[in-house]
Structure 1
């Protein structure tokens, strides 16, 4: 699932809404120049946007199990129909930029149906550092 996937639709819908953004369901997903990064912006409230990233670019062993009820709600028929993204929290201090591995956003690339799910794995943090320490 780590390979670059082309989204067949730029508009995505969170039928259950996006946690923290009550009532907002319609968003635009745009790939940014930086490979693996996306801008998710509300179609309903233009000032609301999130930076998302393909978590596999930084965490190649990341594992997300999507249960059957989510697969059904998002009309996912095949693993190749899925794009998994994580929310990035920016900070002026580069070393404090984090990624949310606990609550990935699941996107059906064919229909745009999307949902943010919460994983039960304790080792996946809500604020996992995105900066790899060297040395």
Structure 2
């Protein structure tokens, strides 16, 4: 399938690379289908990737694997919230968090409180709001990278 993207132009993706959000993403509920794109330069060390909508070119979000920010990130999510993902095995779980990258990169942050959970086996995804764990909506990335 060909899609037109915000940062990569027109590209070809396989249907099995589509990530489907039954309820959309918070604030963008009408958009259901996305794919993950990587900057070819960053593939060697992918910190950021892009969650690109397949039906709306201008809708692309920078996302990060939260374990790259907080090594022991372990969100507690009620089983009932995970039901839309279908049968979920540990090895099929992909976690992503949305990043905000302002002009001053030192102020870059990620939303650790509302992760995206993807079932890689079937391409189904949800975004949840964590009630427990004390995770921040604006968790500064640079603080954690400096510690490494």
Q: TM-score, normalised by structure 2?
A: 0.78
Unaligned runs of 5+ in 2: 1-15
Q: For the residues of structure 1 that align with 2:26 and 2:88, how far apart are their CA atoms?
A: 25
Residue 44 of structure 1 corresponds to 55
Pick the structure with greater CA Rg: 2
* Mapping 1:1-135, distance limit 5 Å: 9-32=16-39, 33=42, 34-121=45-132, 123-132=134-143, 134=146
- Runs (4+) off by over 6 Å: none
Q: For the residues of structure 2 that align with 1:81 and 1:67, how far apart are their CA atoms?
A: 18
Contact kept in structure 1, 2:19 and 2:123, CA below 8 Å: yes
Tell me how far 1:94 sits from its aligned partner.
1.3
Equivalent residue pairs, number: 128
Greater relative contact order (Cα < 8 A, sep 6+) = 1
Q: TM-score, normalised by structure 1?
A: 0.85
Contact kept in structure 2, 1:88 and 1:98, CA below 8 Å: yes
CA RMSD, Structure 1 to Structure 2 (Å): 2.0
